[in-house]
């Protein structure tokens, strides 16, 4: 019959699904529930290939689960607050809200054009008051429970844009937009007590066996539990009125390798000494110019300032160590002070070489190594302790325990645990975010906005003409009366980090009443998300914050779920070749054809295959491709070839191949219309293997393997002679491809005269007996006498053989309807019926 008309089919079935509400999830369904979620997009303006790949994967799983009899929740929404909207406001003079909502409208229609099985009735955008107002209510619940607090803390301050920058926004010590040297400033900020949950967040990782190992490891490292020791150093001379300070170490075993002590630039000792030391003031100022990001501090050149003071070694009163202020010591980790052992710590070694300080080995992997000096690399491996008095000969672990025991006994130190994880600073001095629902009153302090006054709505009349936070300079918005005493007070003008918005949207998808954040029973009927799919760039922050927020809600009795996502999958990126013109400028794929720059006829150089990005101009916009090849071909491309966790290279020839395959599928489903007769056991087996195999592949998110099996089955059907088996296989194929190429499948389903939608059809059953390859001959005896033989699949289970024997015509005749007394089955060989 005619060629598959994708434009017509796409539009038609998308309209039918929408009109029938096919993918609306029913809270009150009696079916088992399944929650499939992809990370919701930021409304940047257009859907890109990465979105298409991500959402296609989730879609196949969601559609498959529906066919398997689940009530599936597969929602979509918008992570709609954040900086780009404010940048657009500054550059293009549009209101962030207008810009965001226009982008959402454009992207929504692009998503609909790909035919995703989404429940659009649950769509939400975090920038709308009906969402962020409920978030404010939750924030106040956490505040009441003591899980929110305010404190002074160091931030990256961009003096030109007059704003706080996230660590990621500081590049080489400069603001990413202004290029100004970033300063470290102290500001009062709001924090969420994620550290209260550090142990539990770490423990919970053990239960997440359907998460990628690497993501669990990244979270574990981020939480960073270290066992160690805290001890006191006595100063030889006072710094201000300080005569001793504590250090934290994870390597008390290396105490005899100590070479110097160091404190952070913000440490009270450094501050006290700087009062009358201009050179130290300069050094501290220089330290503050490096951002607060750990990676940056790690790679920066190690620098120090010799204070001239010294400290006493705790194990030897005659041993003095010089005290430095050092740029690699952080104030907010441990105690902000260290003892340094250059032989066994690379940072300390770099520092010691620079300032010509002693390097003494105290751990040796082999006895011979004991006297080998350390060169340019610190030794951080295991071994035995050397050059260390009473510790000599002990292993590293034994020595740690021995030093801690001695310190505790003598009273100068104790064993402790420290965490790398910091409390979550959620204050942003920005307009386009959730207003923090707090009012500052001189008399009453920080007062929560009464819940009946929520949402605290963002004012519309704001200007972005000058840098800084428009909420802060708004004429009226921030001036309110104190809810507690009624006196004039000031509204909090910080807004929440957008990661807060994405920490609970998945619960709001499950239940979104207008008068509360979610209905507990309904939310719990869907939660946790069974399969979450998204980019590995969210392996730490988003996933950790969401795990924390869910636990916090659990602790205050709002929901009885701790882990929000039981299954996690991180997909690979979509890549493309890069091109340059002879002058070395990047060219976009549209500007190049057959290796030539279309406009000039000059040769283009083909560069590496890289992640699609604007900077390299190798971005291919999915929208026109969907128009040209149809949604199904694009979806098929996203699932074919590469394993989903790996990168996928977009190519023109690839999408053309997919388009041809979609058309081939269409022609094959033609064969399903025939009324041919006769069995084709070989094809039957291939079909049933495909049914079972594709199901298993989809459940394991092995989409490329499922695609390969569909190719095989398609080939087999094409090659087979007409038969009843062939007709059945072609009919089943329609259902097998329905999750991947749903428009084609609906069209074929309708053409076959099936009722209803293939989206609502059941996944085909497979006969386990047909999964087994070889056939064997089975002797069937009645009372010990051979009466018949059967051909059965090798390894067929006993009950199958028994059933086959009893169903045999000859045997049925002999038994004359009487039930056998006993049936003995010897697998692969014989069935003996005792009548």
Q: Which residues bind ligand ANZ (CB under 6 A)?
A: 226, 248-251, 254, 264, 328-330, 333-334, 336, 338-339, 341, 344-345
Q: Which of 85, 441, 604, 780 binds Zn ion (CB under 5 A)?
A: 441
CB of 318 to ligand ANZ, least distance (A): 21
Considering CB distances under 5 to 8 angstroms, the limit depending on partner class, which of ligand ANZ, Zn ion, none binds residue 484?
A: Zn ion
Distances (CA, A) of 677 to 286, 447, 660, 725: 86, 80, 30, 8
CB of 413 to ligand ANZ, least distance (A): 12
Complex with Zn ion: residue 444 or 541, whichever CB lies closer: 444
Considering CB distances under 5 to 8 angstroms, the limit depending on partner class, which of ligand ANZ, Zn ion, none binds residue 108?
A: none
Complex with Zn ion: residue 483 or 535, whichever CB lies closer: 483
**CA dihedral of 152, 154, 159, 165, whole degrees rounded to 10:** -110
CB of 456 to Zn ion, least distance (A): 17
CB of 325 to ligand ANZ, least distance (A): 12
What distance in Å separates the CA atoms of residue 195 and residue 342, rounded to the nearest whole number? 31
Complex with ligand ANZ: residue 255 or 500, whichever CB lies closer: 255
Considering CB distances under 5 to 8 angstroms, the limit depending on partner class, which of ligand ANZ, Zn ion, none binds residue 443?
A: Zn ion
CB of 493 to Zn ion, least distance (A): 18
CB of 429 to Zn ion, least distance (A): 24
CB of 244 to ligand ANZ, least distance (A): 17
Considering CB distances under 5 to 8 angstroms, the limit depending on partner class, which of Zn ion, ligand ANZ, none binds residue 345?
A: ligand ANZ
Q: For residue 144, is the peptide bond before it cis, meaning its omega torsion is within 30 degrees of 0?
A: no
Complex with ligand ANZ: residue 255 or 527, whichever CB lies closer: 255
Among the candidate windows 11-19, 30-38, 437-445, 765-773, which touches Zn ion by CB under 5 A?
Answer: 437-445
CB of 226 to ligand ANZ, least distance (A): 4
Residue 443 near Zn ion by CB under 5 A: yes
Distances (CA, A) of 97 to 367, 470, 590, 753, 806: 69, 14, 32, 48, 73
Q: What angle do CA 402, 408, 413 make, to 5 degrees?
A: 100
Nearest CA among 423, 421, 429, 535 for reference residue 169: 429
Residue 485 near Zn ion by CB under 5 A: yes
Q: How far apart are the first and last CA of the chain?
A: 56
What distance in Å separates the CA atoms of residue 749 and residue 758, rounded to the nearest whole number? 6
Complex with ligand ANZ: residue 39 or 329, whichever CB lies closer: 329
Q: Can you say how many angstroms the Cα of residue 415 is from the centroid of all Cα atoms in its chain?
A: 35
Distances (CA, A) of 525 to 207, 502, 568: 20, 20, 19
Complex with ligand ANZ: residue 258 or 507, whichever CB lies closer: 258
CB of 567 to ligand ANZ, least distance (A): 31
Q: Which of 87, 178, 484, 525 binds Zn ion (CB under 5 A)?
A: 484
What distance in Å separates the CA atoms of residue 77 and residue 122, rounded to the nearest whole number? 8
Complex with ligand ANZ: residue 29 or 167, whichever CB lies closer: 167
Complex with ligand ANZ: residue 323 or 720, whichever CB lies closer: 323
Considering CB distances under 5 to 8 angstroms, the limit depending on partner class, which of Zn ion, ligand ANZ, none binds residue 47?
A: none
Complex with ligand ANZ: residue 94 or 330, whichever CB lies closer: 330
Considering CB distances under 5 to 8 angstroms, the limit depending on partner class, which of Zn ion, ligand ANZ, none binds residue 249?
A: ligand ANZ
Complex with ligand ANZ: residue 85 or 403, whichever CB lies closer: 403
Contact between residue 636 and residue 115 where contact means Cβ atoms under 8 Å apart:
no
Considering CB distances under 5 to 8 angstroms, the limit depending on partner class, which of ligand ANZ, Zn ion, none binds residue 569?
A: none
Among the candidate windows 37-45, 66-74, 434-442, 632-640, which touches Zn ion by CB under 5 A?
Answer: 434-442
Q: Any binding-site annotation on 686? A: no
Nearest CA among 40, 834, 102, 81 for reference residue 509: 40
What distance in Å separates the CA atoms of residue 50 and residue 54, rounded to the nearest whole number? 6
Among the candidate windows 247-255, 279-287, 436-444, 761-769, which touches Zn ion by CB under 5 A?
Answer: 436-444
CB of 439 to Zn ion, least distance (A): 8
What distance in Å separates the CA atoms of residue 67 and residue 57, rounded to the nearest whole number? 16
Residue whose token pair is 């998204």: 534
Residue 480 near Zn ion by CB under 5 A: no
Considering CB distances under 5 to 8 angstroms, the limit depending on partner class, which of ligand ANZ, Zn ion, none binds residue 336?
A: ligand ANZ
What distance in Å separates the CA atoms of residue 696 and residue 686, rounded to the nearest whole number? 15
CB of 226 to Zn ion, least distance (A): 43
Helices (H), 700-808: 703-719, 724-737, 742-751, 798-807
Distances (CA, A) of 267 to 241, 327, 387: 14, 11, 32
Considering CB distances under 5 to 8 angstroms, the limit depending on partner class, which of Zn ion, ligand ANZ, none binds residue 485?
A: Zn ion
Considering CB distances under 5 to 8 angstroms, the limit depending on partner class, which of Zn ion, ligand ANZ, none binds residue 99?
A: none
Complex with ligand ANZ: residue 250 or 781, whichever CB lies closer: 250
Among the candidate windows 102-110, 440-448, 648-656, 678-686, which touches Zn ion by CB under 5 A?
Answer: 440-448
CB of 77 to Zn ion, least distance (A): 37
Complex with Zn ion: residue 440 or 726, whichever CB lies closer: 440
Angle between helices 703-719 and 631-639 (to 10 degrees): 110
CB of 174 to ligand ANZ, least distance (A): 23
- DSSP labels for 298-352? HHSPP-EEEEEEEEEETTEEEEEEEEEEETT--TTSTTSEEEE-GGG-HHHHHHH
Angle between helices 724-737 and 703-719 (to 10 degrees): 160
Considering CB distances under 5 to 8 angstroms, the limit depending on partner class, which of ligand ANZ, Zn ion, none binds residue 776?
A: none
Q: What angle do CA 611, 541, 105 make, to 5 degrees?
A: 60
Complex with ligand ANZ: residue 265 or 732, whichever CB lies closer: 265
Q: What tokens appear for 546 in the block?
A: 């969401």
**CA dihedral of 708, 712, 715, 717, whole degrees rounded to 10:** -120
Nearest CA among 740, 536, 606 for reference residue 63: 740
- Please tell me the count of residues contacting Zn ion according to CB under 5 A: 6
Considering CB distances under 5 to 8 angstroms, the limit depending on partner class, which of ligand ANZ, Zn ion, none binds residue 620?
A: none
Residue 482 near Zn ion by CB under 5 A: yes
Angle between helices 652-671 and 622-629 (to 10 degrees): 30
Helices (H), 34-128: 49-67, 83-92, 96-112
Distances (CA, A) of 504 to 407, 542, 552: 46, 10, 11
Considering CB distances under 5 to 8 angstroms, the limit depending on partner class, which of ligand ANZ, Zn ion, none binds residue 599?
A: none
Considering CB distances under 5 to 8 angstroms, the limit depending on partner class, which of Zn ion, ligand ANZ, none binds residue 454?
A: none
Contact between residue 648 and residue 53 where contact means Cβ atoms under 8 Å apart:
yes
Q: Which of 218, 297, 444, 835 binds Zn ion (CB under 5 A)?
A: 444
Complex with ligand ANZ: residue 417 or 791, whichever CB lies closer: 417
**Backbone CA torsion sign across 572, 574, 579, 580:** negative
Number of Cβ within 10 Å of residue 762's Cβ equals 10
**CA dihedral of 655, 660, 665, 666, whole degrees rounded to 10:** 110
Q: Long-range contacts: 674-679, Cβ < 8 Å, 24+?
A: 674/722, 674/726, 674/727, 675/727, 676/722, 676/723, 676/724, 676/726, 676/727, 677/723, 677/724, 678/723, 678/724, 678/725, 679/723, 679/724, 679/725
CB of 260 to ligand ANZ, least distance (A): 11
Contact positions vs Zn ion (CB under 5 A): 441, 443-444, 482, 484-485
Annotation: binding site: 614
Q: Which residues are annotated as a binding site for ATP?
A: 614
């Amino acid at each position: 019959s005619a060629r598959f008309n994708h434009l017509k089919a796409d539009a038609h079935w998308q309209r039918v699904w929408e009109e029938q509400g096919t993918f609306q999830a029913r809270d009150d369904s009696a079916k088992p529930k399944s929650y499939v979620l992809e990370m919701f997009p930021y409304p940047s303006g257009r859907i890109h290939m990465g979105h298409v790949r991500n959402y296609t994967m989730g879609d196949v799983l969601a559609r498959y689960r529906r066919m398997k009899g689940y009530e599936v929740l597969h929602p979509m929404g918008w992570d709609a607050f954040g900086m780009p909207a404010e940048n657009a406001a500054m550059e293009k003079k549009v209101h962030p809200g207008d810009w965001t909502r226009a982008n959402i409208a454009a992207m929504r229609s692009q998503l609909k054009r790909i035919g995703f099985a989404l429940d659009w009735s649950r769509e939400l955008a975090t920038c709308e008051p009906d969402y962020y107002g409920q978030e404010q209510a939750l924030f106040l619940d956490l505040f009441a429970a003591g899980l929110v607090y305010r404190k002074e803390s160091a931030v990256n301050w961009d003096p030109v844009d007059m704003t706080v920058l996230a660590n990621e926004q500081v590049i080489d010590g400069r603001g990413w937009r202004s290029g100004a040297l970033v300063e470290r400033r102290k500001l009062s900020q709001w924090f969420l007590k994620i550290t209260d949950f550090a142990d539990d967040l770490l423990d919970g990782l053990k239960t997440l066996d359907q998460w990628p190992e690497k993501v669990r490891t990244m979270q574990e490292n981020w939480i960073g539990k270290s066992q160690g020791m805290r001890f006191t150093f006595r100063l030889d001379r006072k710094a201000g009125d300080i005569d001793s300070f504590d250090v934290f170490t994870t390597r008390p075993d290396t105490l005899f390798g100590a070479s110097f002590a160091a404190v952070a630039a913000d440490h009270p000792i450094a501050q006290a000494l700087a009062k009358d030391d201009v050179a130290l003031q300069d050094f501290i100022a220089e330290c503050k110019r490096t951002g607060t990001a750990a990676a940056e501090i790690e790679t920066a050149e190690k620098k120090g300032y010799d204070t001239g003071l010294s400290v006493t070694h705790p194990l030897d009163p005659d041993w003095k160590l010089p005290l430095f202020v050092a740029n690699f010591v952080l104030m907010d980790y441990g105690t902000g002070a260290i003892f340094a052992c250059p032989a066994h710590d690379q940072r300390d070694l770099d520092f010691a070489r620079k300032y010509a300080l002693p390097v003494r080995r105290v751990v040796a992997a082999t006895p011979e190594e004991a006297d080998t000096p350390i060169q340019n690399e610190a030794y951080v491996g295991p071994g035995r302790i050397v050059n260390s008095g009473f510790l000599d000969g002990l292993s590293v672990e034994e020595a740690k325990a021995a030093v801690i025991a001695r310190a505790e006994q003598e009273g100068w130190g104790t064993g402790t645990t420290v965490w790398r994880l910091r409390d979550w600073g959620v204050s942003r001095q920005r307009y386009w975010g959730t207003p923090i629902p707090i009012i500052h009153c001189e008399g009453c302090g920080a007062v929560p906005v009464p819940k009946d006054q929520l949402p605290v709505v963002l004012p519309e009349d704001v200007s972005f003409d000058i840098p800084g936070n428009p909420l802060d300079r708004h004429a009226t918005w921030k001036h309110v009366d104190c809810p507690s005493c009624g006196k004039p007070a000031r509204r909090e003008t910080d807004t929440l980090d957008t990661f807060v918005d994405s920490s609970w949207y998945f619960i709001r998808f499950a239940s979104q009443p207008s008068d509360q954040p979610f209905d507990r029973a309904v939310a719990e009927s869907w939660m946790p998300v069974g399969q979450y799919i998204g980019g590995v760039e969210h392996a730490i922050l988003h996933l950790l914050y969401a795990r924390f927020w869910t636990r916090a809600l659990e602790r205050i009795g709002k929901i009885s779920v701790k882990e929000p996502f039981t299954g996690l999958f991180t997909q690979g990126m979509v890549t493309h070749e890069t091109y340059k013109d002879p002058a070395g400028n990047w060219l976009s794929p549209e500007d190049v054809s057959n290796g030539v720059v279309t406009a000039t006829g000059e040769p283009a150089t083909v560069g590496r295959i890289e992640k699609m990005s604007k900077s390299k101009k190798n971005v291919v916009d999915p929208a026109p491709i969907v128009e040209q090849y149809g949604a199904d071909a694009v979806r098929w491309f996203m699932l074919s070839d590469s394993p989903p966790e790996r990168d996928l290279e977009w190519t023109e020839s690839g999408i053309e191949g997919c388009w041809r395959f979609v058309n081939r599928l269409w022609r094959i489903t033609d064969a399903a219309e025939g009324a041919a007769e006769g069995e084709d056991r070989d094809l039957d087996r291939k079909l049933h293997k495909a049914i079972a195999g594709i199901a298993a592949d989809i459940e394991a998110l092995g989409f490329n393997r499922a695609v390969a099996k569909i190719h095989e089955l398609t080939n087999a059907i094409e090659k087979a002679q007409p038969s009843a088996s062939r007709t059945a296989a072609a009919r089943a194929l329609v259902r097998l491809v329905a999750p991947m190429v749903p428009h084609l499948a609906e069209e074929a389903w309708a053409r076959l005269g099936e009722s209803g939608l293939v989206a609502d059809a059941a996944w085909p059953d497979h006969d386990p007996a047909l999964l087994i390859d070889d056939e064997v001959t089975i002797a069937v005896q009645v009372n010990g006498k051979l009466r018949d033989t059967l051909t059965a699949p090798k390894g067929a289970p006993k009950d199958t053989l028994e059933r086959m024997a009893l169903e045999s015509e000859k045997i049925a005749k002999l038994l004359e309807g009487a039930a056998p007394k006993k049936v003995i089955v010897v697998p692969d060989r014989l069935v003996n019926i005792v009548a």
